[in-house]
Every structure is written in structure tokens, then in C-alpha cells.
Structure 1
Amino acid sequence: MTDTPTGPWVERSRDHAGEVVIVTGMTGAGRSTAAKELEDLGYYVVDNLPPSLLREVVQLVDESRGHDQPIAVVVDVRSGSFFDSLQSNLAHHAVGRRTTLLFLDATDDVLVRRQEAARRPHPLQGSGRLIEGLRRERSVLADLRADADLVIDTSDLNVHQLTDRIADSFGTPDQMRLQVTMISFGFKYGIPIDADFVADMRFLPNPFWVPELRGKTGRSQDVSDFVLGQMGAREFVDSYVELLTGVAGGYLTEGKRFMSVAIGCTGGKHRSVAMTEEIAGRLRELGHSVGVVHRDLGRE
């Protein structure tokens, strides 16, 4: 079985502003993984919501975050008779937003293995066998599966492959790129605790000791030229960008689209700022989405 786009899904654009995604499907098919990925893509995620409250949630999000905030609602078989309310809301467009019904499925033998590995009973199993609970669930969800805009069979997908499918279906082109945050900092104020990579620029001469540069920052062209003109500076940039580019490919392959890179010097004013700006510019030229934070600029 392959991913099956049906209904209006085929005609939809990659602009998901204001979209409401209803995530449902079989227990063990990957609802939690899909919800986490949607959250990473910027959706406001509500888990295990009774469908009768769907309109209220949309209204609250409209009031607090605006109509363009995309929403993902995870609905599972524990909602029981509430499914009738969900189908009614979707059929009559009562949500007031564009909606997409995502159904995650897998073969019974795969679902049994996953449930047994998790050592958790099926919510409809009762005192019977696991497979009986799965069959009851299929019966309950049959109409929702038939109405789904997008069905993803996760039988042969690992976690990373499923997140890729979700990102491809619900992400924007910008979100599909690696999101890099470059942080300049001063070692005397501490290393950023959320950094994936840390580089130390204290091997370069400090512009602080050049009187005409002392009062400027690494964003000044004079300071940047001084820092990048030092022996080994440009060689470091070349090799570090090459390193980060190689790691970026691995991150994307593993479903990670966020990287935090911290560049430090003594006070976070000259060398780290200039090198952060230079490396950020090089990464942008390679097609990555890069944000820059000069954490300690202005503290001196």
C-alpha cells in the first residue's frame, strides 16, 4: 500500500496558513510521531481532543494567535462516540477553516508487533486478544479512513521516514531546509547551553587591543576586515563551513532540521561577531535558512 491522496488534497498548495489538520488512524501507526513533526513545522498541536470541542479550540487559537496559525488535532479511538461529531463538523465545514484529514495506517501484523514492543494494551482490547482490539478499531475508523484526504501506510516506514512524509506533505519549502541559528557569545559570560556546536575564536588576535577598533563591534566592516585578515581566519571559515555542510546533510537525513552553532571569543563583541556573520553568510549562499543572534553584544 502507498500513500493515497484523495479528494481536494490533490489540488491544495503548499501554503498551509490557517489549515486545520485532523490526525487520526490506527493505534501504533505513528500518530504521536506525526503530531511531533507537525509541531516542529509550526502547527499548534492538541492531542486527544474530543472532536466536539474542535470548533472551540479553533476559536481560541484564532483569538490568541490569529487566523493564520495552523492547527493539528490528534483524535484517536478513545474519543469513542465523539467520532460522529468529528465527521459532522467536517462534512458541514463547521470548523470555519480549511481542513485536512490525515489517516495513519499499517498492517495488522506490524501494529501487533509495535504494540507488543511497547508493552501496552490496545484501548479496545478489553479482556480479549490484541488482534481483536485492532479489528474493533478498524471497524470504528472505517468511515474516517474512507473520508481521509491523505492516507499514509507506515508499515514499512521508520520514524525518520514518517517524519519526512509528514514534512513533505505539510511543510513549506523554507521549512524543508535546514534551519541554522548562529550565536556569537563571550566565554566570560558562559557557553550557550543549547548549542550543538561550539567554536573558539580566541586563537585570533583581539581587536580590543587596537585603539581605533576597540569601540566598534564585529559588525563593523573595519573589525570584520581585521579579523578575517588574520593568519588562519579564512582557512578556518572554509573548513568550518565545509564541516557544517556535511553535518547538515546528515541532520536532514535523520529528520533533524534545526542546528545551533555558537561562535565564541572573550567578550562576545569583536571576533565572535565578525566570524558569526561571515559563516552565516556563507551558509546562506549554500541555501540554508540562517538566523543570527549576537547574545552578548552590548554587555560591555
Structure 2
Amino acid sequence: MTSDAPSENPSARQRILLVTGLSGAGKTTTLQVLEDLGWETIDNFPVRLLGGMVGGKAVQPAPLAIGFDSRTRGFVPDEIITLCSQLAAQSDVELETLFLDCASGEIERRYNETRRPHPMARERPVLEGIKAERELLDPLRSWADNVIDSSDFASNQLQQVVREQFADTAAREMTVTVSSFGFSRGMPPLADLLFDMRFLDNPHWIAELREQTGLDDAVGAHIRRDPAFAPSFDRIADLIRTLIPHYAAQGRSYLNIAFGCTGGRHRSVYSAERAAQVLREAGFSPTVIHRNLGTRPADPLERR
């Protein structure tokens, strides 16, 4: 005789992540990242209908992320908490909540930049709408399993935090990104390892090399002729090979290695390409990004 009771096997449980938070704190970005990670995503779903689409015998093959906020129809925080607590008690459901928070001043800045109206401001100043929404959502923030404060995050930084927290790391190897950049155009915000290559002779000041980049053979040959390059880069390569297993052992999903020079077109580009080759030889498949490769050479920026 077979039983109709839901399986107690944890692998058969339907994983659901409820994503909510303050308007402008990054819910849309978060759902996009989750979708890239293989989640099924629904935004602005009426939460009162949640009980009819989860649980039961037909477990979803992919985890499900559901976004909702103060704009969602039937949004009553206390009722949502009660309903979701009941669902979380089901043996065939694994339910988590993620609350996206952000400082009021930063949300105000974002709304002023986009010139979009805050959903709870109406005819009032933006800050009053933010305050009213924060008070409304306070029970959800206190109840949430996970809280991410995006106050100090650019969009790409929030994306990385979400990836690190919700990617299925058990079946994934660490993703390594190697990038080049120009110090004169700003520091990269997410570099785990950063190498300053401005000690090398600058090809910008060689007329025939100025319009070329570190991807061109002539620029690479010029950099290799610098007596400082080979011994320094060999040490950098050894350091990278040494550190990567330690980062992986800590459960890291992403590692960002950055090489900088003044303008981000010559020395850093060549060094990043060489480092990517070192990583390929070590069995990795690095992503290579040259942030400032497309910018035009400019003498005032090339002070070193």
C-alpha cells in the first residue's frame, strides 16, 4: 500500500525564496541575478495566492523566487507573515525570506537620479514616502531570514553579493575574473587581488605605441623588454596560483583579480592577458574584462 503523504526527502522539497524590501533597494536587480542562477522568478505576485501554487506532489524542478513589496496588491505584512509561516511548516516546502534594505538618503538619491516617483510619496517629498514605507515593512524586516543592505552597493556589487549568497556552490567551481583598469579613471570596487603595474615603462609615451593597446604585439614586446616585468610578473603569477586554492577552500564562488596602470590601455591590459593565460594553464576558465580599453589616450591622464 502506497502513501499519499509528501516525501520527507529534503531533496524533494520545493525551495522558495520570498524577496521583498524597500522600493529602490534592489529587488529587481536581485530577481534578475536569481534568474541568471537558474531560479524561476515572479515579481509583484499577490502573496495571498501563494498557498495555491506551492507544495503538493508536483515539486518544481527549479527553485522559485517571488518578489513583492508595498506596491503588490493585497500587501499586508502581518497577514503575509502568518501565511508564509504556515507554508514554511509544510514538510514539502523549504521557504526563505530575503529583505533588501537601504539607507533613506541613498534611496532618495536613487529616486532623484531616475526621476521616478516613490510609490508611497504621492504628493509628498520622497523622504516622507520612504519613511512611511519603512514603517510599513518593519515587521517583514524583523521576520526575514536574510537581510542585505544595499546602501553602499553599486548595481554590480549587489549582483555579486546575491550570487555569492544564493548560487548553488556545491556543483560549481569558483568563477575567476581577471580585469584591467586605469587608476586615473577610478578604482574597481570589487577586486579581491589588485596589482599596480605603474612601475613599468609606460608605452603611452612611445608615439608609435600610443594608439595601440596591450592586446597588440608591439606593446607586449615593449613591456616584456622592461627589466622589471619578468621577475615581478613571475612573482605575481606564483602568488595567484598559491592563493586560489585557499580562496576556494573558504567556499568562495567568485574571485576578482585586477591589474591597474594609469590609463588602463597598455600595461594593465597586457598583464591581465598574461595572468589569464597562467590561470588557463592551471585549469581555470577565467573571464577577462578590460574596463578602459575603449577609452582614447589622453596625455593629462598619463602622468606616470
- Give the structure-2-normalised TM-score: 0.51
Please tell me whether the aligned partners of residues 18 and 66 of structure 2 are also in contact (alpha carbons under 8 angstroms).
yes
The match for 1:42 is 38
Paired residues for 1:193-208 under 5 Å: none
Matched to 1:286, the amino acid is G
Matched to 1:112, the amino acid is E
Q: 1:175 to 1:131 in 2, by over 3 A?
A: farther
Deviation of 1:156 after TM superposition, in Å, equals 0.5
- Mapped pair 1:286 → 2:283: yes
The match for 1:138 is 134
The match for 1:57 is 53
Deviation of 1:67 after TM superposition, in Å, equals 3.4
Deviation of 1:57 after TM superposition, in Å, equals 3.3
Residue deviations 1:220-270 (CA, integer Å, cap 9, x gap): xxxxxxxxxxxxxxxxxxxxxxxxxxxxxxx9749xxxxxxxxxxxxxxxx
Residue deviations 1:166-224 (CA, integer Å, cap 9, x gap): 11111122446449xxxxxxxxxxxxxxxxxxxxxxxxxxxxxxxxxxxxxxxxxxxxx
Match of 1:69 among 35, 39, 62: 62
The match for 2:103 is 107
Q: 1:82 to 1:283 in 2, by over 3 A?
A: same
- Mapped pair 1:125 → 2:129: no
Please tell me whether the aligned partners of residues 97 and 144 of structure 2 are also in contact (alpha carbons under 8 angstroms).
yes
The match for 1:25 is 21
Deviation of 1:58 after TM superposition, in Å, equals 2.8
CA distance in structure 2 between the partners assigned to 1:166 and 1:67 by the alignment = 21
Task: Give the structure with the higher percent helix.
Answer: 1
Matched to 2:69, the amino acid is D
The match for 2:87 is 93
CA distance in structure 1 between the partners assigned to 2:164 and 2:173 by the alignment = 8
Matched to 1:132, the amino acid is E
Deviation of 1:283 after TM superposition, in Å, equals 5.6
Describe the SS at the equivalent of 1:37. Answer: helix
- Report the aligned-residue RMSD: 3.5
Q: 1:287 to 1:29 in 2, by over 3 A?
A: same
User: Which structure carries more relative contact order (alpha carbon 8 Å, separation 6+)?
Assistant: 1
Deviation of 1:37 after TM superposition, in Å, equals 0.5
Paired residues for 1:72-83 under 5 Å: 72-79=65-72, 81-83=74-76
Q: 1:169 to 1:69 in 2, by over 3 A?
A: same
CA distance in structure 2 between the partners assigned to 1:16 and 1:42 by the alignment = 17
The match for 2:240 is none
Residue deviations 1:15-43 (CA, integer Å, cap 9, x gap): 99732111000111000110000001111
The match for 2:163 is 167
- Give the structure-1-normalised TM-score: 0.52
Describe the SS at the equivalent of 1:78. Answer: coil
CA distance in structure 1 between the partners assigned to 2:136 and 2:109 by the alignment = 21
CA distance in structure 1 between the partners assigned to 2:38 and 2:94 by the alignment = 17
Q: 1:88 to 1:40 in 2, by over 3 A?
A: same
Q: 1:129 to 1:161 in 2, by over 3 A?
A: same
Residue deviations 1:110-150 (CA, integer Å, cap 9, x gap): 00000111111011112111111111101110000000111
Describe the SS at the equivalent of 1:93. Answer: helix
Q: 1:141 to 1:46 in 2, by over 3 A?
A: same
Deviation of 1:164 after TM superposition, in Å, equals 1.2
Please tell me whether the aligned partners of residues 17 and 69 of structure 1 are also in contact (alpha carbons under 8 angstroms).
no
Structure 2 unaligned runs (5+)?
1-10, 177-253, 258-278, 287-304
Please tell me whether the aligned partners of residues 177 and 288 of structure 1 are also in contact (alpha carbons under 8 angstroms).
no
The match for 1:248 is none
Deviation of 1:80 after TM superposition, in Å, equals 5.5
Describe the SS at the equivalent of 1:127. Answer: coil
Deviation of 1:85 after TM superposition, in Å, equals 3.6
Please tell me whether the aligned partners of residues 41 and 175 of structure 1 are also in contact (alpha carbons under 8 angstroms).
no
CA distance in structure 2 between the partners assigned to 1:114 and 1:99 by the alignment = 31
Q: 1:161 to 1:16 in 2, by over 3 A?
A: farther
Query: What is the number of equivalent residue pairs in this alignment?
Result: 178
